[in-house]
Amino acid sequence: MVDFAQARRTMVDSQVRTSDVTDLRLIAAMLEVPRESFVPAARRALAYLDIDLPAGDGTARALLKPMVLAKLLQAAAIGEGDRVLDVGCASGYSAAVLGKLAGRVVALEQDPALARIAAETLSAMGASNVTVASGPLHQGWQDDAPYDAIVLEGASEVVPSALLAQLTEDGRLLAVIGSGPMGKATIYRNAARSPTAQTLFDATAPLLPGFAKTAAFVF
């Protein structure tokens, strides 16, 4: 029988804190949110490993590695009153963590089964400031824009221009840009409505649907 509370603490101590994550609010959130509740029962013993954890049966979607998620969220510097869009929330773990940090979270998911799981699990946990929305990930969620922060729960091979347009004037977007071993965790800051990009660290993440490069025609 897995002691999930101990496994959660070990994850934070050995994967998160050792990766220069020092934000105490973020650390507390990751210690509190039960990651095992957001994966199928058969995979719960794997919930705290240093892997992109499959979010459901029959889907390629996954929860980001704890270290990658933590470093992205720390760089986002989310305040208690911030409005956040969580793009590709999958089964809802990232949205639950964000709900501990932000004032309001919109968790966007285009897979109907995952969106349903996220809504049910987040509701059961009392995450009253998190709303699950269903729609194409690359389009974002204009209904509640603008957002102080947008976080992509996966990789993008292209600059997410439609999402950048949904940021507040001083908003920031966090994503892994590039697929495979060439991925870079990147922050876009929307200073004066002119987004600038800064590479933060090397990172890999599963490619989100709708964020792949368009195949080029070759003669």
Residues, the chain? 219
Q: Which residue has the tokens 């603008």?
A: 146
- The total of structural domains in the chain comes to 1
Q: CA angle 51-55-197, nearest 5°?
A: 65
In a domain, 208, yes or no: no
Helix (H, G, I), strand (E, B) or coil at 211: coil
Max alpha carbon distance in the chain (Å)? 58
Nearest-angstrom CA–CA distance, 117 and 37 = 10
CA-closest candidate to residue 160, choices 88, 106, 69, 218:
88
In a domain, 38, yes or no: yes
Strand partners, 176: 155, 185
Joined together, the tokens standing for residue 51 give 């892997």
Q: Which residues of the chain have pLDDT under 50?
A: none
Domain span holding position 80 = 4-202
In a domain, 214, yes or no: no
Joined together, the tokens standing for residue 123 give 């509701």
Nearest-angstrom CA–CA distance, 184 and 200 = 7
In a domain, 215, yes or no: no
Please name the residues in contact with 93: beta carbons below 8 A apart, sequence gap of 6 or more: 33, 35, 38, 55, 63
Radius of gyration of the chain (CA): 16
In a domain, 182, yes or no: yes
In a domain, 213, yes or no: no
* Secondary structure E strands in 119-209: 130-134, 147-156, 167-177, 184-189, 196-202
In a domain, 81, yes or no: yes
Question: Domain of 99: which CATH number?
Answer: 3.40.50.150
Full-model pTM? 0.94
Please tell me the predicted confidence (pLDDT) of residue 215. Answer: 66
Nearest-angstrom CA–CA distance, 134 and 146 = 18
In a domain, 181, yes or no: yes
